[in-house]
């Protein structure tokens, strides 16, 4: 045992989703022993099925994934560059551009040749995270292990599993999804924003090349995002009032493709279905605190974003980087890794990074999904002013691109 014989690990992590696994890998690289507790069986983690999520990754997320050995474990044929994003509202001819097609100045801002980001299927990220974490001797994953209770004393955190086993460490980290039961067991509340909407997502093939362009089409009735994948395929993400999701799920493949083709307004040419449809209710979550006594939250358990600004996993990776860095610093100076110093530093930095985007995302979603006349006029004005007023346009785009490259706080991204 690393700290004391009475501990089962340096850090107990609840949840072996991508955030928990990436944290395990980062802690192992810092010389810490991480024990991950996951309720699902091993087979669901090592070979997860396609789940319809295409994750837009920022430059910073890629850098961290590279350092942890996740990036090199993803087949390059599954990584699609995101060259440009375009936003359109209803039938308006106004298009807001981000990235390569948005003018020389923006290209110069990003050094010209770099894509805005990359799109990678979520199940490939999960698979890579599993392989990277379990390749490290410092990471142990206990599957079929559901955490049912949490106790914290002065020097330790202890969990009780559904089968009665008890495990202890100086620090407990919850990475058990946006509806984290462990967060609640630790007495931390969360702001929850139920958008009353769902996404229905499915891959489609199409006749015309997409050129690495993502489209966000804010229509009236539903929103359609078209996310470029490698080859002549996009992920079609339909955001709609939750009560209409069953109807979209019940469509035949041909009916679904016809609707996407019509709403894409000729941008992709003829469309056909190229995979199953999946469905996610949209609930955003922001924890009131990210840390408490011998306890920290990471991944969606800390910040569960609406996918429109494509930040959920990106924030998960940023959090992993910061928490692991602070714990490693404590370990190097012989400090208590479960003590308040490292945890508070993580809390400060992660909140500073995520809170403005959380608030901004919710405001964008509210504005762009409100079907009343005034909000419709307001969003048309936002797009027009953003595209035509050079100063504002530059500021807005620079902020958004900074977000995509992982360099700061601000606005929206595609999805």
Ligand X SMILES: Cc1cc2nc3c(=O)[nH]c(=O)nc-3n(C[C@H](O)[C@H](O)[C@H](O)COP(=O)(O)OP(=O)(O)OC[C@H]3O[C@@H](n4cnc5c(N)ncnc54)[C@H](O)[C@@H]3O)c2cc1C
Residue 78 sits in the site that holds ligand X (CB under 6 A): no
Concatenated DSSP letters of 270-330? SEEEEEEEEEEEEEEEEES-SEETTEEE-GGGTEE--GGG--HHHHHHHHHHHHHHHHHHH
Sites for ligand X among residues 94-153 (CB under 6 A)? 122, 146-147
Point out which span in 5-13, 15-23, 75-83, 187-195 binds ligand X (CB under 6 A): 15-23
C-alpha to C-alpha distances, 107 to 59, 189, 390, 393, nearest whole angstrom:
15, 42, 15, 14
Q: Which is nearer to ligand X, 300 or 347 (CB)?
A: 300
Q: Which is nearer to ligand X, 7 or 313 (CB)?
A: 313
How many angstroms separate the CA atoms of 341 and 18, rounded?
A: 26
Strand 171-174: give its sheet, edge to edge.
Answer: 139-142, 34-37, 11-14, 171-174, 295-297, 291-292
How many angstroms separate the CA atoms of 271 and 261, rounded?
A: 6
Min separation Cβ 388 and ligand X, Å: 28
Quick one: CA torsion of 106, 111, 114, 116, rounded to 10 degrees?
A: -30
Determine contact, residues 87/364, Cβ cutoff 8 Å.
no
Q: Which is nearer to ligand X, 97 or 311 (CB)?
A: 311
Min separation Cβ 260 and ligand X, Å: 16
C-alpha to C-alpha distances, 240 to 15, 178, 195, 220, 387, nearest whole angstrom:
30, 21, 10, 10, 26
Q: Which is nearer to ligand X, 7 or 315 (CB)?
A: 315
Q: Which is nearer to ligand X, 62 or 110 (CB)?
A: 62
Token look-up 């308040």 returns 340
Residue 238 sits in the site that holds ligand X (CB under 6 A): no
* 291-314 b/e (C-beta count within 10 Å ≥ 16 → b): bbebbbbbbbbbbbbbbbbbbbbb
Residue 347 sits in the site that holds ligand X (CB under 6 A): no
Min separation Cβ 163 and ligand X, Å: 12
Sites for ligand X among residues 35-74 (CB under 6 A)? 37-40, 53, 55-56
Q: Which is nearer to ligand X, 146 or 394 (CB)?
A: 146
Mask: binding to ligand X, 271-290, rule CB under 6 A, as x and -?
---------x----------
Residue selected from 300, 321, 349, 401 as contacting ligand X according to rule CB under 6 A: 300
Residue 312 sits in the site that holds ligand X (CB under 6 A): yes
Residue 316 sits in the site that holds ligand X (CB under 6 A): yes
Residue selected from 176, 216, 347, 401 as contacting ligand X according to rule CB under 6 A: 176
| Closest to 36 measured CA to CA, from 48, 22, 20, 25 | 20
Residue selected from 11, 19, 132, 238 as contacting ligand X according to rule CB under 6 A: 19
Min separation Cβ 164 and ligand X, Å: 14
How many angstroms separate the CA atoms of 225 and 369, rounded?
A: 13
Residue count of the chain? 415
Min separation Cβ 372 and ligand X, Å: 26
Phi, psi (degrees; rounded to nearest 5) at 17 = -75, -175
Sites for ligand X among residues 318-337 (CB under 6 A)? none
Residue 17 sits in the site that holds ligand X (CB under 6 A): yes
# residues contacting ligand X (CB under 6 A):
34
Residue selected from 201, 285, 296, 383 as contacting ligand X according to rule CB under 6 A: 201
How many angstroms separate the CA atoms of 327 and 147, rounded?
A: 23
Q: Tell me 50's DSSP state.
A: P
Point out which span in 259-267, 306-314, 350-358, 366-374 binds ligand X (CB under 6 A): 306-314
Residue selected from 307, 338, 406, 411 as contacting ligand X according to rule CB under 6 A: 307
Q: Which is nearer to ligand X, 387 or 404 (CB)?
A: 404
Point out which span in 13-21, 251-259, 261-269, 286-294 binds ligand X (CB under 6 A): 13-21
How many angstroms separate the CA atoms of 259 and 252, rounded?
A: 11
Return residues touching ligand X (CB under 6 A): 14-20, 37-40, 53, 55-56, 122, 146-147, 175-177, 181, 199, 201, 280, 299-300, 307, 310-314, 316, 415
């Amino acid at each position: 045992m690393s700290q004391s014989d009475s501990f089962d690990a340096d850090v107990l992590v609840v949840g072996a989703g991508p955030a928990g696994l990436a944290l395990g890998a980062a802690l192992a690289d810092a010389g810490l022993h991480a024990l991950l507790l996951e309720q699902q069986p091993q087979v669901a983690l090592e070979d997860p099925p396609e789940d319809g999520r295409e994750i837009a990754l920022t430059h910073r997320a890629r850098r961290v994934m590279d350092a942890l050995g996740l990036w090199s474990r993803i087949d390059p044929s599954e990584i699609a560059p995101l060259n440009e994003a375009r936003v359109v509202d209803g039938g308006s001819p106004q298009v807001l551009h981000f990235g390569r097609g948005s003018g020389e100045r923006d290209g110069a801002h990003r050094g010209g040749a770099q894509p805005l980001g990359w799109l990678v299927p979520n199940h490939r990220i999960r698979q890579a995270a599993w392989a990277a974490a379990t390749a490290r001797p410092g990471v142990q994953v206990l599957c079929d292990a559901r955490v049912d209770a949490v106790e914290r004393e002065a020097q330790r955190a202890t969990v009780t599993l559904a089968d009665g086993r008890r495990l202890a460490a100086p620090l407990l980290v919850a990475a058990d999804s946006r509806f984290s039961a462990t967060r609640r067991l630790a007495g931390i509340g969360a702001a929850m924003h139920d958008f009353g909407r769902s996404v229905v997502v499915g891959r489609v093939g199409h006749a015309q090349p997409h050129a690495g362009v993502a489209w966000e089409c804010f229509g009236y009735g539903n929103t359609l995002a078209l996310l470029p994948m490698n080859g002549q395929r996009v992920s079609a993400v339909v955001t709609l009032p939750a009560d209409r999701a069953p109807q979209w799920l019940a469509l035949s493949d041909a009916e679904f493709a016809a609707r996407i083709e019509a709403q894409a307004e000729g941008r992709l040419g003829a469309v056909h279905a190229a995979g199953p449809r999946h469905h996610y209710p949209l609930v955003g979550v922001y924890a009131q605190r990210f840390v408490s006594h011998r306890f920290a939250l990471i991944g969606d358990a800390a910040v569960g974003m609406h996918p429109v600004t494509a930040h959920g996993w990106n924030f998960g990776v940023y959090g992993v980087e910061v928490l692991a860095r602070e714990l490693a610093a404590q370990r190097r100076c012989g400090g208590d890794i479960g003590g308040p110093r490292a945890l508070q530093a993580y809390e400060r930095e992660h909140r500073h990074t995520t809170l403005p985007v959380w608030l901004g995302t919710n405001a964008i979603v509210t504005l762009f999904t409100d079907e009343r006349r005034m909000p419709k006029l307001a969003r048309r004005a936002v797009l027009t002013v953003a595209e035509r007023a050079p100063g504002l346009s530059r500021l807005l785009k620079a902020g958004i691109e900074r977000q995509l490259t992982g360099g700061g706080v601000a606005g929206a991204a595609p999805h």
